[in-house]
Amino acid sequence: MRRSHVTTVSLLVALTLAACTNAKDVLEPSAITPPATSGPVAPGSTAATVPTPSTAAPATTTAGASATTTPLTPAQSAAILSKTRLQIAPIVGASVEAATPLTAELQTRARQRGITLAGSADQTATHVLKGYFSAISEGKDTTVIYVWDVYDPSGNRLHRINGQMKAPSANSGAGADSWKGVSPATMQAIADQTIDQFAAFLGGKAG
């Protein structure tokens, strides 16, 4: 009987301690978060899920902000281009014969896109375009490699346009001078691509 009585008392004490421990776990603020992963403690689970809406809210705001970067309408693009005054720096690397049709076509294409060209001494330029060129002859073909850097009036580089164009050599006897094999049409095509990419940059930056 004593053993049975002692066993009963021990069980009662163990149950009492367990109840106290559970109450403590629920009441302590530090214990609110862990029960979120355990099913039995409903209050803890509810409290732990409260911050979830607040963390989800910034994601909605961010999505809304990114959604505002919509493509520009033709009218908006035209307005941006009309305010642009582009100054073209002297071409580096190309021969005079190759640079002449390039420069002329840059001016023509810029006017077609509604971009105003500024002279070398014009202080009102909004952008400066500096070009670096090289030509490589391979058999009957000549590849023109070009890099354009777009600067603001303060000299900060804003964007880079680069590419290459391969075309049949206009002069099979060009020899070591690859530029003699570059046709005016090739340089004009590069000029068109350059202005088009510059206009796309302005539209993307504004968006």
pLDDT tens-digit readout, 152-196: 999 999 999 999 999 888 765 545 589 998 999 999 999 999 999
Q: Determine contact, residues 47/32, Cβ cutoff 8 Å.
A: yes
- Of all helices (H) and strands (E), which one includes residue 166? strand 157-168
pLDDT score recorded for residue 153: 93
pLDDT digits (tens, 9 = 90+) for 96-155: 999 999 999 999 999 999 999 999 888 899 999 999 999 999 888 999 999 999 999 999
Which tops the pLDDT comparison, 83 or 32? 83
Handedness of CA 122, 123, 127, 131 (dihedral sign): positive
Strand order in the sheet with 116-118: 116-118, 85-88, 127-138, 141-151, 157-168
- Quickly state the pLDDT bin for 205 (edges 50, 70, 90): low
pTM of the model: 0.62
What pLDDT is attached to residue 128? 97
Give me the percent of the chain exceeding a pLDDT of 70.
61
Query: What pLDDT is stored for residue 82 in this prediction?
Result: 84
State residue 26's pLDDT score: 41
Number of H helices and E strands in the chain, helices first, is 6, 5
